[in-house]
């Protein structure tokens, strides 16, 4: 009988995470966007509706690089609250699916 969950497969030494940030309402969103754009480890970012205002995918070379990014994030005064979720492994079987967003009532890939 096999285990219910396969063991994580370590493919590289990078540390990947999804980070959510609730922005302090006294600051402009554009300033935080600029912060993210200056960070080479930020791969993608989305303004979202929910518990946080923005989520982004981070890919760091190792744990010390993740720690350095988190120190810079803590110094960024517009971030009121953060959540950090480390990515363990992808969901297999999704293949090359693309994210689809609804913009202006039309599907856009």
Domain ranges of the chain: 15-89
Report the alpha-carbon distance of residue 36 to residue 71 in Å, rounded: 14
Which parts of the chain register pLDDT below 50? Answer: 102-109
pLDDT of residue 99: 56
Report the CATH fold assignment for 15-89.
Answer: Alpha-Beta Plaits (3.30.70)
Residue 103, Cβ neighbours under 10 Å: how many?
A: 7
pLDDT tens string 77-102: 888 999 999 999 888 888 766 655 54
Residue position matching structure tokens 């110094």: 75
Contact of 29 with 72, CB cutoff 8 Å: no
Q: What is the pTM of this model?
A: 0.73
| Best CA proximity match to 77, nearest among 18, 24, 22 | 24
């Amino acid at each position: 009988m096999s285990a219910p969950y396969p063991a994580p497969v370590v493919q590289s030494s990078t540390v990947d995470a999804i980070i959510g940030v609730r922005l302090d309402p006294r600051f402009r969103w554009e300033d935080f966007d600029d912060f993210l754009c200056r960070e080479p480890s930020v791969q993608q970012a989305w303004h979202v509706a929910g518990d946080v205002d923005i989520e982004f995918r981070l890919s760091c070379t190792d744990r010390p690089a993740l720690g350095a990014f988190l120190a810079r994030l803590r110094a960024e005064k517009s971030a009121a609250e953060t959540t950090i979720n480390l990515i363990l492994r992808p969901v297999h079987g999704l293949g090359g699916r693309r994210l689809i967003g609804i913009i202006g009532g039309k599907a856009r890939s």
